[in-house]
Amino acid sequence: MLDVVKSVVPSIPFDADRLERLMDDAGIDLLVATSKHNVQYLLGGHRAFFFESMDAMGLSRYLPVLVYPKGARQKAAYFGHRMEGFQKENSPFWVSESQTNSSGTLDAMQKAIDYMRKSGAKPRRIAAELAFLPVDAGNALRNAFADSEIVDALFVLERLRAVKSPEELRKLRIASEGVIASMLAVIANHGPGASKRELTEALRREETNRGLVFDYCLITAGSSLNRAPSDQTWNEGEVLSLDSGGNYHGYIGDLCRMAIHGEPDAELEDLLTEIEQIQRAAMKPIKAGTVAGAIYAAAEPLVQKSKHHNHMHFLAHGMGLVSHEAPRLTATGPVPYDAYDANRPLDAGMVVSVETTLQHPQRGFIKLEDTVAVTDRGFDIYGEGGRGWNRGGTALR
């Protein structure tokens, strides 16, 4: 007897009214999303399992295309790869038109173009994800709508995702707590002599075993400030920094914790305590309604007052499906964007990564990083554990 999969087409999984307002403010008539993260968001969690860790296939690559016309959400459509048909059978998409039969970038975009023409779309301004639109598909879109202005959809989609739903927050908490638990397990299970490469691989396994997708590990050992995995070993008396991103269903936990083989001396205790104090000070003003710039206003004076200020750096940035997404809190960080949110109030449901780094010339790389969710009453730290000097190899004794 054949199993019959019974599925109910879901309602729109995001705030469509908010998207309409954002598109209206930007003068956008048609939205074309082509990144895996924004397609996931707009489809309510769909991620093509076949292309989770790769995009290239045959002569082209995977390109999901979601079309959303302003004022006509009932005409929204999705055009995906033929390998996504199995997932659509199990969990139909909310859009009125969904085709999962494309084989590459041009094929997917041409199907979307044909649908837009058939639906009578004559947009004056089209917002596309320019950083996630291959040249061949982009040229096809531009040629098909030669009289339309094509602009970047990044800002509209970023603002749409800025406030997380309870389900998104749950996933971010799971990701963050999973990363911390993985770090503590790696530290406890490795004695002196383990290489940075071995430690990174162990962290990958720990995160994977906890249901996360391992994204990266920035790792330092001893007095070295080099953060790439290598054959360098973590030895007795040396510090270790693990800064890792692991995601749960696409939502990223990005945290950093410290460890040492042996016991930290007074100077190391003082250095990490100072970083912890800056972290706590930066988080203290976080609350819905507080001007976002208060985070930097609380942290930066402490950094400048530190006798290590020439080697110390504070950073706060948004987190979610993308690292360094809204809220944008500074224009002087490592990722170039403006400080759009610095003078605007925080909203409940926003998520911020708070990090303080010391690149000490003699003692090495010392850092704490936390993922913090804004609430109406204050904030929640996701992954609170392991904030002090974690001792290496404790599980081996």
DSSP 275-324: HHHHHHHHHTT--TTSBTTHHHHHHHHHHHHSTTGGGEEEEEEE-SSSTT
Predicted confidence band of residue 361 (pLDDT cuts 50, 70, 90): very high
Rounded distance between C-alpha atoms, residue 320 and residue 328, angstroms = 13
Domain with CATH 3.90.230.10 in the chain: 166-396
Res. 58: pLDDT tops 50: yes
Picking from 8-17, 24-33, 297-306, which range would have the lowest pLDDT averaged per residue? 8-17
Res. 1: pLDDT tops 80: no
> Residue 184 has which token pair?
């503590």
Segment 304-317, tens digit of pLDDT: 999 999 999 999 99
In sequence order, the 6+-apart residues with CB closer than 8 A to the CB of 270 are: none
In sequence order, the 6+-apart residues with CB closer than 8 A to the CB of 4 are: none
Of 297, 395, 381, give the one whose Cα is nearest residue 342. 297
Question: What proportion of the chain, given as a percentage, has pLDDT over 90?
Answer: 96
Rounded distance between C-alpha atoms, residue 392 and residue 88, angstroms = 46
Rounded distance between C-alpha atoms, residue 298 and residue 285, angstroms = 8
Average pLDDT, the chain: 96
Rounded distance between C-alpha atoms, residue 153 and residue 234, angstroms = 45
Mean local confidence (pLDDT), 251-278 = 98
CATH superfamily membership of 166-396: Creatinase/methionine aminopeptidase superfamily (3.90.230.10)
Helices (H), 53-128: 85-90, 105-118
Of 181, 182, 199, give the one whose Cα is nearest residue 190. 199
- Supply the pLDDT for residue 9: 53
- Supply the pLDDT for residue 8: 52
- Supply the pLDDT for residue 397: 81
Res. 2: pLDDT tops 80: no
Check the CA dihedral 194-198-204-205 and report its sign.
negative
- Supply the pLDDT for residue 4: 42
Segment 59-106, tens digit of pLDDT: 999 999 999 999 999 999 999 999 999 999 999 999 999 999 999 999
Of 363, 141, 172, 189, give the one whose Cα is nearest residue 274. 363
What's the topology of domain 16-161? Creatine Amidinohydrolase; Chain A, domain 1 (3.40.350)
Interhelix angle for 266-283 vs 294-305, to 10°?
Answer: 160
Domain with CATH 3.40.350.10 in the chain: 16-161
Rounded distance between C-alpha atoms, residue 333 and residue 341, angstroms = 14
Predicted confidence band of residue 146 (pLDDT cuts 50, 70, 90): very high
Q: pTM of this prediction?
A: 0.94
Of 271, 311, 316, 275, give the one whose Cα is nearest residue 297. 316
Res. 7: pLDDT tops 60: no
- Supply the pLDDT for residue 121: 84
> Residue 41 has which token pair?
């968001």
Segment 197-219, tens digit of pLDDT: 999 999 999 999 999 999 999 99
Res. 182: pLDDT tops 90: yes
The verdict on whether omega for the bond into residue 327 sits within 30 degrees of 0, i.e. cis, is: yes
Of 84, 87, 44, give the one whose Cα is nearest residue 63. 84
Rounded distance between C-alpha atoms, residue 242 and residue 257, angstroms = 6
